[in-house]
Chain A
Amino acid sequence: AQSVAQPEDQVNVAEGNPLTVKCTYSVSGNPYLFWYVQYPNRGLQFLLKYITGDNLVKGSYGFEAEFNKSQTSFHLKKPSALVSDSALYFCAVRDSGRDSNYQLIWGAGTKLIIKP
């Protein structure tokens, strides 16, 4: 069965420090992986995705994510955190295999708090 795990409910980082938000997944075929961000009382905004190719994917607002097939992970990273990065982050995966129903499976979300 397909699944996504975001093992941390909350991540606290000091402004200016690097940040990592973790995501691991399980699919039977090749994964299509996504990161979204949600600010308070807003819809989800697309940050970046991995489909194929280079394992390091760059996205909006200076975020990047690294696809690691052997560890089935897709961690979100940023070299220097900003207070404005404080938000709720969601990881999602879609199984692109032929037998898949292509449904997007979501993690539970990680609350990122950046302290000045």
Chain B
Amino acid sequence: KAGVTQTPRYLIKTRGQQVTLSCSPISGHRSVSWYQQTPGQGLQFLFEYFSETQRNKGNFPGRFSGRQFSNSRSEMNVSTLELGDSALYLCASTSGLLGTQYFGPGTRLLVL
């Protein structure tokens, strides 16, 4: 089975722009979670989608949003980018509500 894929792998944006990141889960997995990882803050949970519904949400401002499509692929969007949004964004997929999360390689976002 193919693993979790994330596109793009690297991205450079400027302050005020918006960005959309994509995640394709492992085939058959219906849950997708998104995380932000920075050196100072560790792994921060953004949100989780299961069957196109947002099930859990972390403590991030409304500039961070996401969605999941009927094929379980997910996108996250960050509007009005700030310098502090520079981070590694990780996506993970799970087969069910209690399963093991499998991670993609991440998208490294640099905001200038």
Contact = CB atoms under 8 A, between A and B. Distances in A.
Interface residues of A, number: 21
A49 to B, nearest CB: 6
Interface stretch (A14-22, A64-72, A101-109): A101-109
Interface in A60-112: 90, 92, 94, 96, 101-104, 106, 108-109
A95 to B, nearest CB: 10
Interface residues of B, number: 20
Contact of A101 (B42, B56, B106): B56
Interface of B is mostly: strand
Contact of A103 (B56, B90, B103, B104): B56
A46 B102 CA distance: 7
Interface of B: 4, 33, 42-43, 45, 48, 55-56, 90, 92, 97-98, 100-106, 108
B98 A32 contact: yes
B90 A46 contact: no
A34 interface: yes
Nearest to A102: B97
B24 to A, nearest CB: 14
A65 B32 CA distance: 26
Contacts of A32: 98
Nearest to A34: B100
30 contacts: A34-B101, A36-B103, A41-B108, A42-B105, A42-B106, A43-B4, A43-B104, A43-B106, A44-B43, A44-B90, A44-B103, A45-B103, A46-B100, A46-B103, A49-B100, A90-B43, A92-B101, A96-B98, A101-B55, A101-B56, A102-B55, A102-B56, A102-B97, A102-B98, A103-B45, A103-B48, A104-B45, A108-B42, A109-B42, A109-B43
